[in-house]
A and B are shown apart, each in its own frame.
Chain A
Amino acid sequence: MLKKYFIFGAGLSALALIILLIQWFFVLEQHARAKPPATVFSNADNANVEKPCTDEHVEWRSAQEIEGVSILASPVCEPDNPYTIAAATKGTNNVSMSTLMQSHLAQDSIVMGEDLDHDGDPDVIHIKLEVVELNGFSPDGDYLMNTYNIAPGVQPSLWVYAPKMQGMAVKNFNSRVAHPLLRAPSPVIRVEQGDKVFITLENTHYLPHTIHLHGVDHPWLNSEGQDNDGMEEHAIFPGKQHTYEIQPRHAGTMLYHCHVQTAQHFMMGLNGMFIVEENRPNNWVQTLNIGAGQVRHPSASVKKQYDQEYDLHYQSLDKQLTRIPQEANDPRLISQKMSRDYNMSTSTENYFLLNGHSFPYTLRDAMIVAGENENIKLHIANLQRTPIAVHFHGHKATIMAYDGVDAQQGTQITRDVFDISPAQRLDLSLKTQNDGLNSYGAGLWMFHDHVPTGTTTDGMEPGGNMAILAYKKLLDEQGMPKMHEGMFNDVFNKEYYAKKRPIWSTGDFAFLLGDAGLVVPENGELIAFFMVCGMLIGLIMLLISFYIRKDHEK
């Protein structure tokens, strides 16, 4: 009896030994001797290379006038929808049905009313926002719903405020891709100083939310004596709405964000820029700038001093946090996983976004496109978890306002790195004057957060908020930067950000710096290995036969 167990045990341990040996040979590394392995080429596998520019709406790029709203040219690959701009400027109640339909906004999303100061522009403005989940869970299969890629193949779940729209939340009826109006970042809201603004949050999401108007002049209670500060204890429940009322007396670059479970909800993407423009006669401002970036219909005061205006929204995401809504469907489970199982104080930043995209998608819609001798106004907001240090190659810009307050003459600092703490804003004046100080001349100048992790996507360089300040003549007809074609095949590829391709997989360096192949075991070792294996197998058989014979003798 005892012997039986002994043999059984011996057999098992011999088997374990064999497995260990196999692992040692075939899985673990081995020191290469005189001949390291050859380079493995993977550039033949280009199945996942995306077109750098899909060139979907060529007609949206040119300067045009819709509903009497003059819209500046936007020569980038993915320009903003000019019909949305026209409807956001005139109000969804003041445009033709065909413009409204092409804007995809709901007809009550931006309603403009009375001209209070009789200066030729409406001053009573009702804005309706919804809350949308991108890259969310589906109980119907192993896929995500309302997908939005921040970079090739990168789909963290995101919560954003979105303009109230009409129709489906997908691009078309048999697609899972989110509708183009539903994207990161939450839209930039723009109003005129002194406007009577009503912001209604219609909570279409499955968790409670609020809007806190950070830095925007607002009374603590609204006219009905209800919460007007977006406080956590006055959260708006799913299916309900609440209206915040403001009449900002002060102009400047401000913010809005959710104040429920703030650490989590802020990091999920419920934050945006809120810009109050100076009051001027006949000043119709572009109420929403979807996806931030270029303001194609700048306000009267900006138009007077500047040639162009851009909103730059810096945002970061935590891949562990943004995975949570993809792991469960039950809102109770999502809430538990997000607020209790996950400890936000251990949160890290893995994705860095400029205007909702990481490089290389920033090249499609987050570039600054400049002409020579222009003065460009930049509103920069840091909606990340950590400070940013925005650097422009080839330029030195000047700070015109801090947190929405104009900088006095002595504090208008000209420099090339702008440190911005979380939730802070800077207004910059960037001049493209080739004088060796403001600009070093035409180019495709990168601009990015100089904190080293800022240009990574889950650790992969180049990624993150890397973008380009491009001089117009250096863009091709699709709005993509020239002289970068060599790189496009590498980075417009989800395999690259899935870390499955070497950094230098194409071009001259590929054979030098591609992946090192596997090392071939040397003959002596191979013989020894198989000999040991064979002997072990023999030993087991010997023991078994010995046992069987013993049994027969009984």
Chain B
Amino acid sequence: MKNNYLRHKIKVISILSIVILSLAQVSFAMMSMDEKGMVMNANSDNLPKDCQKISEEVNLTVHAGQKYATKFNGKMFAFDQQEWNVAPCAKINITFINDDQIRHQLMIHGLPGYLYPEGMLHLELYGQGELHASVILPSQKKTYLVHCELAQHAEKGMKAQLKVGGGDGDLPSIPALSAPVKTDIYTLDWMAMKWGGILILLVSFIIFYVGRVLFLRYLKMSN
């Protein structure tokens, strides 16, 4: 087993060197793998063009798992938090923890392509476990999509947002935070209004009736 692990490490290093060599022009393109998971495009050193220096360093621990969805009705997977706020040019050190026995990912989209190929940071855990990665964000006020790219995981709740400098709005369908674009339809609970509905009905009728009587009286008087 130990031997196997060593062999694997050698493989990891060799592929790493291949990847780095083939992407020589983007020397910061990074990918690392081990038995538990992989990290793509982590960046703890390179400043975005629009940042003079790192403004703040934030440590974020993000849990992923089925159990975090239990507080949201009608969801199946979720992160433990749905929103993070950081300052422009912040460096975030992510600890990603998967509490499930299945694969989960943490992907941040929309990052500058010159630092993060395809504009994304990709963390993936093959099962229960933990990964670490850093990322330096640009100065722009922006809301970044954070989600798991497994089929139906984001749709069923594993979706969050990272706001830099207050962000530029909310993304849709984040559990308990924003409405979906395409909504589900549920049966209306009439009884939730109890007698309220009937009361409102009675009052409106009386208002209408009294108004009508007063109006007719006014007409007669003006005649």
Which residues of chain A have a CB within 8 Å of any CB of chain B? 93, 96-98, 101, 106-108, 130, 132-134, 136-142, 145-146, 164, 166-170, 173, 178, 182, 202-206, 237-241, 328-333
Contacts and interface: CB of A to CB of B under 8 A. Distances in A.
Contacts of B67: 239
Contact of A139 (B65, B124, B180): B180
B204 interface: no
A139 B173 contact: yes
A206 B156 contact: yes
Given A139-B183, A239-B66, A331 B156 contact: yes
Contacts of A205: 152
B118 interface: yes
Contacts of B107: 168
Contact of A239 (B33, B65, B105, B149): B65
B182 A140 contact: yes
Interface residues of B, number: 47
Contact of B74 (A168, A169, A330): A330
B26 interface: no
B61 interface: no
14 contacts: A93-B8, A97-B12, A98-B15, A139-B173, A139-B181, A140-B182, A145-B155, A164-B126, A169-B149, A169-B150, A237-B66, A238-B76, A331-B156, A332-B74
B180 A206 contact: no
A173 B118 contact: yes
B126 A106 contact: yes
B184 A204 contact: no
Contacts of B109: 173
Contacts of A203: 102
Contacts of A146: 151-152
A108 B33 CA distance: 12
B11 interface: yes
A136 B150 CA distance: 12
A298 to B, nearest CB: 28
B120 A173 contact: yes
Contact of A145 (B77, B151, B186): B151
A163 to B, nearest CB: 12
Contacts of A164: 103, 126
B153 interface: yes
Nearest to A160: B151
Given A107-B35, A137-B155, A331-B76, A166 B124 contact: yes
Interface in B147-177: 149-153, 155-156, 172-173
Contacts of B100: 239-240
A242 B199 CA distance: 56
Nearest to B13: A97
A96 B14 CA distance: 9
- From DSSP, what is the main secondary structure of chain B's interface residues? loop
A141 B103 contact: no
A97 B11 contact: yes
Contacts of B103: 106, 130, 164, 202, 204
B102 A204 contact: yes
A494 B76 CA distance: 34
B223 interface: no
B101 interface: yes
Interface string B179-201: 01111111000000000000000
Given A141-B182, A333-B186, 18 more contacts: A93-B4, A93-B8, A106-B126, A107-B35, A108-B127, A133-B152, A137-B155, A137-B182, A145-B151, A146-B151, A164-B126, A173-B119, A204-B102, A239-B67, A239-B77, A239-B102, A329-B180, A331-B74
Contact of A204 (B119, B120, B122, B150): B150
B38 interface: yes
B24 to A, nearest CB: 17
B134 to A, nearest CB: 21
Given A130-B103, A239-B66, A328 B184 contact: yes
B60 interface: no
B202 interface: no
B18 interface: yes
A91 B107 CA distance: 28
A142 B182 contact: yes
B18 A98 contact: yes
Interface string B101-125: 1110101010000000011101010
Contacts of B155: 136-139, 145, 329
Nearest to A332: B74
A137 B120 CA distance: 24
Given A97-B11, A240-B101, A141 B181 contact: yes
Contacts of A328: 184-185
B155 to A, nearest CB: 6
